[in-house]
Amino acid sequence: MYTVEGLLSEIRVLMEDEELFRLFKETFRRYRHYFETTNSIVFNVYGFNDHGSIHVLLTAKRALEILRILKRFGVKTTAEMLGKSLRWSKFIVAFAALFHDVGNIIHRENHYFFSVVLAEPIIEELVRKFENDNPLLLKALTLNAIYTHDESTDCTTMEGSILTVADGCDMEAGRSRLAYKPDKVDIHGVSALAIEKVEIREGDEKTPILIEVRMNHLSGIFQVDEILTKKARRSLLREKVRVRIIAEDEVLEKII
């Protein structure tokens, strides 16, 4: 069971930056009503599961985990390729994760575009608190990551790619990204309850990101293919992610 305080604690450790974490925590508290309102609309109107506070914090945590692993393998982020620090990349993935789904308040279709519209003035304020050197570039990269988190859009930055893969990992039982009706028995409903645990681990030189998915029934593969695989293949991390599926005494692996 995930909790807000537990996830914030993990994010603090992963950030390794007290100033950045304070800004992140303050921003989360200040805009928590955005996330809760988003969740209410997504759940009650669209028929999806959690897109609220737990989802955005869990996505931020997983994005920071992926970023840490990529750096261990010497992968450069887009911010670094543009001559900026790793601290920029932490800012981008963390704050993009916070606001990537708020556009659902307006409409599920093109919600990633509406998320950019709603987040723009907030990110503008945040980057000016965080960075005096070229705040427009930092704002642009953060909004880019928000926009490209959806599987319908190609990622153009490493930070955006990290976010979209992290977002795709939120598919444990009861946390499906897919719409389904609990009272209807179909592949959506069965697979949505099949996945027990998703963990991000360190892989190897070829596939530095290893995502281990434990499920109680192989129907959970439907979730992996429809959510995580589609997102990863639109990212710059395609072919750098290996999924290990553990189910019913079977272990399956594939590169996506």
Q: Is the pLDDT of residue 73 over 90?
A: yes
User: Which pLDDT value is given to residue 49?
Assistant: 80
Burial code of 230-249, b = ≥16 C-beta within 10 A, e = fewer? bbbebbbbbebbbbbbebee
Residue partners of 119: CB distance under 8 A and separation at least 6: 99, 102, 143, 146
| pTM of the shown model | 0.94
What are the structure tokens assigned to 35, written together? 């996330």
208, 73 Cβ separation under 8 angstroms: yes
Q: How far is CA 185 from CA 193, 197, 227, in A?
A: 11, 22, 19
Residue 43: pLDDT band (50, 70, 90) is confident
What are the structure tokens assigned to 226, written together? 């429809």
User: Which pLDDT value is given to residue 48?
Assistant: 80
- Per residue in 26-42, pLDDT (tens digit) is 999 999 999 999 999 99
Residue partners of 256: CB distance under 8 A and separation at least 6: 228, 229, 232, 233, 238, 239, 241, 242, 243
How would you classify residue 74: left for phi > 0, otherwise alpha for psi between -120 and 50, otherwise beta? left
What percent of the chain has a predicted confidence (pLDDT) above 90? Answer: 81
CA 215 to mean position of chain CA atoms: 20
Q: CA-to-CA distance for 56 and 42, rounded, in angstroms?
A: 14
Q: CA-to-CA distance for 57 and 195, rounded, in angstroms?
A: 20
User: Which pLDDT value is given to residue 51?
Assistant: 87
- Per residue in 148-207, pLDDT (tens digit) is 999 999 999 999 999 999 999 998 876 665 555 555 545 556 777 889 999 999 999 999
Q: How far is CA 57 from CA 68, 88, 161, 234, in A?
A: 17, 18, 17, 23
Residue 147: pLDDT band (50, 70, 90) is very high
CB atoms under 10 Å from CB of 116, counted, come to 22
Residue 120: pLDDT band (50, 70, 90) is very high
Q: CA-to-CA distance for 166 and 68, rounded, in angstroms?
A: 13
88, 131 Cβ separation under 8 angstroms: yes
- Concatenating the DSSP letter of every residue in 34-47 gives HHHHHHHHIIIII-
Q: CA-to-CA distance for 11 and 65, rounded, in angstroms?
A: 9
User: Which pLDDT value is given to residue 26?
Assistant: 98
Q: Is the pLDDT of residue 99 over 60?
A: yes
What are the structure tokens assigned to 83, written together? 């001559």
What are the structure tokens assigned to 234, written together? 């639109």
